[in-house]
């Protein structure tokens, strides 16, 4: 029952009845104080108006006093939650940040990183790009001198092409992609999600007929020449019969595939023929049926992909044809057009949420936010702090061993807030844990998270100044979660888990409703 009462408080906070008759004389006056923290008449008025149970009746002294006592009891519980440090737990921090991010979405000028990436990816899925590339190998772990040598090489190649040399001829001569020797760097048509993100991004941002800037991926440095674009053809589903030849010139295999083709033309059942002759052991007993695939998905077998997309009518059977893996006959099962965005949004977000490109997209947005909130770093101080890192950090036991002078110095600033080394040390002490990363990489991760937290504080302060309703609502969510947590610690731990999940879901639904307003 107590647990339900806590949730009802959150429900009341989310409602908005209006009681115009209630007027308090001094809006910003302190009404009462709980453990040194004042509660203003303004806050009382606002909460009373939102939570009055009978909005059709004028406020009476009895009703106001009753609500005042409820608010005092509520604030006492919140004060107790703070005194127990419930606001500093990872559980509270993670939950509150999630709600906070949802609440801020309507106020932000830029979209959420995942929303932005999903829409960008869908837009690219509507178009196919035909391109060729030149690769000069440069792995992330290469020595700086080797990386510089590779970069200088790709710069020289780009100059040759800009001076008028044929791209494909140069690709066959210098590209370190082994396939370029026979395909001149030609990648055929492809669409989104088929190349690493940096490569995809460059291809879609290069105009038809143009040469891309030099781009870096995990494989090295690339140049891309875009030759054509056209509307996407969606996906295709086919069944196939495969005969693998002992050699490309195996005439026995060629004769056999044409014999099979004649049997099919004479009316023999496709599934029977497939089961008897196909050498694709994974599909022969299921009629040779393959999963649907899109353009570029079978780039290693271009003849197969080309024939599949050239077919028009379900049930149509191709002539026999040869690829680099053998001889094929394919039957078209269906063509699958690209679904509308609203039908693909959820699946796209699930896929992108696990993809490296989301992290790259978040990094771009993070850089924009750093500029927006005037993030200024003190590099020499950061360097001195990072020099103190050792393996104890990755064990979660690191402690500061620098000077008091360094600890007091400014590490960076966000808007008008100056953040000291001491602030960062406190953050590390609270958040460090055992990890498998290299010490400096983990230190950088902690530092970036600390910067993001401070930018979030600056963002909140700006939103609170510009949008008073945001300030009030954010505090209501904070106190609602704290009340939930303290009540849970006192009397709810014996409740079943499914009830807890259900009630938390209610809070999240309320948050979503608030963000839509």
| Burial degree of 227 (CB within 10 A; 0-12, 13-18, 19+) | middle
- What is the pTM for the complete model shown? 0.56
Structure confidence at residue 109 (pLDDT): 60
Banded pLDDT at 10 (limits 50, 70, 90): very low
Task: Compute the chain's Rg from CA coordinates.
Answer: 32
Banded pLDDT at 63 (limits 50, 70, 90): confident
Structure confidence at residue 512 (pLDDT): 52
Structure confidence at residue 161 (pLDDT): 96
Banded pLDDT at 432 (limits 50, 70, 90): very high
Among residues 433, 501, 127, 435, which one has the least CA distance to residue 296?
A: 127
Q: List beta partners, residue 238.
A: 332
In percent, the amount of the chain with pLDDT more than 70 equals 86
Quick: pLDDT tens for 95-121.
888 878 778 777 766 667 788 889 999
Does 173 score more than 90 pLDDT? yes
Identify the residue whose tokens are 């099962």. Answer: 333
Provide the mean pLDDT of the chain: 84
Quick: pLDDT tens for 380-419.
999 999 999 999 999 999 999 999 999 999 999 999 899 9
Mean pLDDT in residue range 258-280: 95
Does 306 score more than 80 pLDDT? yes
Does 508 score more than 90 pLDDT? no
Distances (CA, A) of 220 to 138, 147, 223: 4, 9, 10
Does 64 score more than 70 pLDDT? yes
Structure confidence at residue 239 (pLDDT): 96
- Low-confidence winner among 235-239, 420-424, 490-494 (lowest mean pLDDT): 490-494
Cα–Cα distance for residue pair 3/7, rounded to 1 Å? 7
Structure confidence at residue 509 (pLDDT): 52
Tell me if 290 sits within 8 A of 283, measured CB to CB: yes
Structure confidence at residue 498 (pLDDT): 46
In percent, the amount of the chain with pLDDT more than 90 equals 51
Structure confidence at residue 424 (pLDDT): 96
Cα–Cα distance for residue pair 182/177, rounded to 1 Å? 10
Mean pLDDT in residue range 35-60: 72
Does 23 score more than 50 pLDDT? no
Give me the domains of the chain, ranges plus CATH numbers: 2-83+469-516 (no CATH), 127-231 (3.10.50.40), 235-336 (3.10.50.40), 373-463 (no CATH)
Structure tokens at 435: 């990890």
Mean pLDDT in residue range 453-479: 85
Banded pLDDT at 51 (limits 50, 70, 90): low
Mean pLDDT in residue range 309-318: 94
Structure confidence at residue 501 (pLDDT): 53
Banded pLDDT at 364 (limits 50, 70, 90): confident
Does 434 score more than 70 pLDDT? yes
Tell me if 5 sits within 8 A of 505, measured CB to CB: no
| Burial degree of 492 (CB within 10 A; 0-12, 13-18, 19+) | middle
Banded pLDDT at 494 (limits 50, 70, 90): very low
Banded pLDDT at 58 (limits 50, 70, 90): low
Structure confidence at residue 5 (pLDDT): 36
Question: Which has the higher per-residue pLDDT, 19 or 341?
Answer: 341
Does 197 score more than 70 pLDDT? yes
Question: Which has the higher per-residue pLDDT, 73 or 62?
Answer: 73
């Amino acid at each position: 029952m107590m647990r339900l009462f806590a949730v009802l408080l959150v429900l009341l906070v989310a409602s908005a009845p209006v009681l115009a008759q209630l007027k308090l004389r001094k809006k910003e006056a302190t009404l009462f104080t709980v453990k040194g923290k004042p509660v203003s008449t303004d806050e009382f008025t606002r909460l009373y108006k939102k939570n009055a149970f009978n909005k059709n009746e004028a406020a009476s002294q009895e009703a106001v006093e009753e609500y005042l006592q409820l608010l005092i009891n509520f604030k006492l519980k919140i004060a107790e939650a703070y005194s127990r440090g419930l606001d500093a737990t990872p559980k509270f921090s993670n939950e509150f940040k999630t709600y906070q991010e949802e609440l801020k979405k309507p106020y932000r000028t830029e979209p959420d990183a995942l929303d932005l990436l999903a829409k960008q990816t869908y837009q690219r899925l509507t178009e196919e790009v035909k391109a060729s590339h030149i690769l000069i190998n440069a792995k992330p772990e290469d020595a700086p001198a080797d990386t510089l040598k590779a970069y200088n090489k790709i710069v020289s190649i780009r100059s040759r092409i800009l001076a008028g040399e044929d791209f494909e001829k140069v690709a066959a001569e210098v590209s370190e992609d082994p396939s370029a020797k026979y395909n001149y760097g030609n990648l055929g048509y492809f669409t989104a999600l088929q190349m690493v993100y940096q490569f995809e991004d460059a291809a879609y941002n290069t105009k038809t007929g143009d040469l891309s800037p030099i781009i870096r991926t995990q494989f090295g440095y690339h140049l891309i020449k875009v030759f054509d674009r056209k509307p996407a053809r969606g996906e295709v589903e086919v069944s196939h019969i495969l005969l693998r030849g002992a050699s490309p010139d195996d005439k026995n295999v060629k004769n056999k595939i044409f014999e099979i083709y004649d049997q099919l033309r004479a009316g023999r059942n496709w599934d029977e023929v497939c089961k008897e002759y196909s050498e694709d052991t994974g599909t022969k007993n299921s009629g040779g049926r393959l999963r649907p695939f899109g353009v570029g998905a079978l780039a290693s077998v271009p003849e197969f992909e080309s024939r599949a997309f050239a077919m028009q009518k379900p049930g149509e059977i191709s002539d026999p044809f040869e690829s680099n893996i053998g001889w094929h006959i394919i039957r078209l099962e269906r063509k699958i057009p690209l679904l509308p965005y609203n039908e693909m949004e959820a699946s796209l977000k699930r896929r992108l949420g696990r993809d490296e490109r989301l992290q790259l997209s978040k990094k771009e947005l993070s850089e924009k936010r750093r500029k927006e909130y005037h993030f200024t770093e003190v590099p020499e101080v950061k360097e001195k702090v990072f020099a103190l890192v050792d393996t104890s950090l990755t064990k979660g036991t690191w402690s500061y061993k620098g000077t008091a002078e360094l600890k007091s110095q400014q590490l960076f600033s966000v808007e008008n807030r100056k953040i000291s080394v001491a602030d960062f040390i406190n953050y590390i002490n609270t958040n460090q844990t055992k990890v498998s990363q290299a010490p400096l990489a983990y230190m950088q991760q902690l530092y970036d998270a600390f910067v993001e937290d401070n930018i979030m504080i600056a963002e909140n302060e700006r939103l609170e100044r510009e949008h008073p309703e945001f300030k009030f609502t954010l505090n209501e969510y904070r106190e609602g979660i704290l009340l939930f947590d303290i009540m849970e610690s006192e009397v709810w731990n014996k409740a079943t888990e499914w009830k807890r999940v259900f009630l938390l879901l209610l809070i999240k639904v309320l948050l979503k409703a608030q963000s839509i307003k």
